[in-house]
Amino acid sequence: MLNTQQSGFVGHLIELRNRLMKALLSILVIFIALIYFANDIYSFVAAPLISHLPENSTMIATDVTSPFFAPFKLTLFVALFAAVPMILHQIWSFIAPGLYKHEKRMLLPILFSSIVLFYAGISFCYFIVLPIILGFFTSVGPEMMTLSPDISSYLGFALKLFFAFGVAFEIPVAIMVLCWSGVTDVISLKEKRPYIIVGSFVVAMFLTPPDVLSQTLLALPMLLLFELGLILARFYSKKPKEQELQE
């Protein structure tokens, strides 16, 4: 009996390792396919900043290796973001055998929604948030100042915002999972709304650069997504009979 349990545990570990290797391989394949276009990818990401720079002003590299490593690093992150569907697919393939049919039917829409919302968060950041933030910061400096942003510093700034908005847009999914699992319910979350409003601004403070504008542009969508999560969670909340059966 013990040997059977041990072999089953080892089998799960081997499968987990294989799933992780496939996820990492997908990132590597996408990275290799994109590395030739690394400079073009950087130019695309830097476009919101370039459009707000004064005339005759350009981005600079304060480190000799930055012109190579900045696009290289960005391409690696793009490969990671692009491989999210494959990574989630591997996670789903690992946990799906242990789920009931009705659980699979409930979780598949959540899995699909998490992918869509992650990319929606990044797109929202690139097309809306970045132009607003960069337009503000490039217009408030002293007139005698020549703005020449460092390519590595801008990359770190942009990636932090992309990640923050990508994760923040997963709030509806998190709420649905919590309600579906019975950890909480819609009524309880509504009662905690004042604390969640404060918490959204606190979380935004840690996830975004240290300025009020970035924090507000993240906190407000988080609150709207929280309300959306409450609406969708009604379809995923456990019924009293289901909770009694589990207990």
Q: Give the pLDDT confidence of 32-52 residue by residue, as tens digits.
A: 999 999 999 999 999 999 988
Q: Do 71 and 41 contact (CB within 8 A), yes or no?
A: yes
Region for residue 149 given its phi and psi (left: phi exceeds 0; alpha: psi -120 to 50; beta: otherwise): beta
Residue 247 counted as domain residue: no
Predicted local distance difference test score (pLDDT) of residue 247:
45
Residue 127 counted as domain residue: yes
When pLDDT is cut at 50, 70 and 90, the band that residue 26 belongs to is very high
For the residues 212-216, what does the mean pLDDT come to? 84
When pLDDT is cut at 50, 70 and 90, the band that residue 2 belongs to is very low
Range of the domain at 231: 13-54+63-141+148-236
Please name the residues in contact with 188: beta carbons below 8 A apart, sequence gap of 6 or more: none
Residue 210 counted as domain residue: yes
Residue 3 counted as domain residue: no
37 strand-pairing partners:
none
Domain count for the chain = 1
**How far apart, in whole angstroms, are the C-alpha atoms of residue 95 and residue 92?**
5
- Using the Cα atoms of residue 150, residue 61, residue 46 and residue 34 in order, give the sign of their dihedral: negative
Kindly report the length of the chain: 247
Residue 241 counted as domain residue: no
What are 48-94's pLDDT values in tens digits?
Answer: 999 888 777 788 888 888 999 999 999 999 999 999 999 988 888 88
Residue 244 counted as domain residue: no
Flag the least confident range among 61-75, 80-94, 95-109, 180-194: 95-109
Looking at residue 133, the DSSP 8-state letter turns out to be H
Q: Do 95 and 61 contact (CB within 8 A), yes or no?
A: no
Among 210, 46, 215, residue whose Cα is nearest residue 134: 46
- Whether residue 141 has pLDDT greater than 70: no
Take residue 173 and report the two structure tokens written for it.
Answer: 């999914």
Residue 35 counted as domain residue: yes
Residue 7 counted as domain residue: no
60 strand-pairing partners:
150
